[in-house]
Amino acid sequence: MTAALNDDRDGRNARWDDHREQRRRHIVDAAVALVEELPIGAELTLQDVADSSGLVRTVVQRHFGGRIGLVRAVQADVVARAFTRISSATESLTTYRALSHDLVAATVSWVAEHPKLHVLVEKELGDGEPSELSRTINEFAEQLTALNALIASGFGLILDERQIAETRLLYIGLIGQVRATTTHWVLHDQHLVSAEALTSLLSHWILKQTLDLAARYGLEIDADEPFAGLVHIWREQGIGA
């Protein structure tokens, strides 16, 4: 009898958890769609999201604890979608030049398509917590560092602990460079500089800095030299997964 009651209670809890997650998903989707409709940089309010999702304000507040919790959840969702798309650019791993271009092209195209979402995820929330974008950037820098170490090994260089740390710092800096440049571009210079031109500029700068670091370690790399056989190893090791 007790076991049956526990099973029934567990079933109700599972159904409630599913319902709550579906409701949160509905609210976040409504908030993302709303951001795309509002003027760029406009504040996302609980009431606006409640109206957009067809719910009352108190329901939205109960699920997210307030406006900051809601905005953080929206930022996390948008960042996850954006970086899934950007990370997919590493799947066609061929040369350093192609890798630099494809990563930048994926970033610039996403920002161009979703300028309002880009501005939203760049906002600090002032709650003393790292932004969702900062968390993801650190993870992405680690991913790129591991990928670069694998590529270097394919060219005969095994990076030591210090070199790996320096590579990580380089990628943190490069990601920051892309962030700052694309944000300024989408807000001020998009009518003067095309997405293709911006991609060309950024990928050139990134490629030069990456190869300069390799040269410091005594490794002279042709930007168009193929990463022969590395794609299979990279996927086996789960780098970028």
What's the pLDDT at 233? 55
| Phi-psi sector, 65: left (phi>0), alpha (psi -120 to 50), beta | left
What's the pLDDT at 8? 57
Each domain of the chain, given as residue ranges in start order, spans: 1-65, 75-237
Fold classification of 1-65 is: Arc Repressor Mutant, subunit A (1.10.10)
What's the pLDDT at 132? 85
Instruction: Please state the pTM of the whole predicted model.
Output: 0.83
Tokens encoding 204? 């050139």
Closest-CA residue to 210 (of 160, 153, 168): 168
Burial class (CB in 10 A: 0-12, 13-18, 19+), 42: middle
pLDDT 10s digits, 177-206: 999 999 999 999 999 999 999 999 999 999
Mean of the per-residue pLDDT values of the chain: 88
Mean pLDDT lowest among 38-42, 157-161, 177-181, 230-234: 230-234
The CATH class for the domain spanning 75-237 reads: mainly alpha
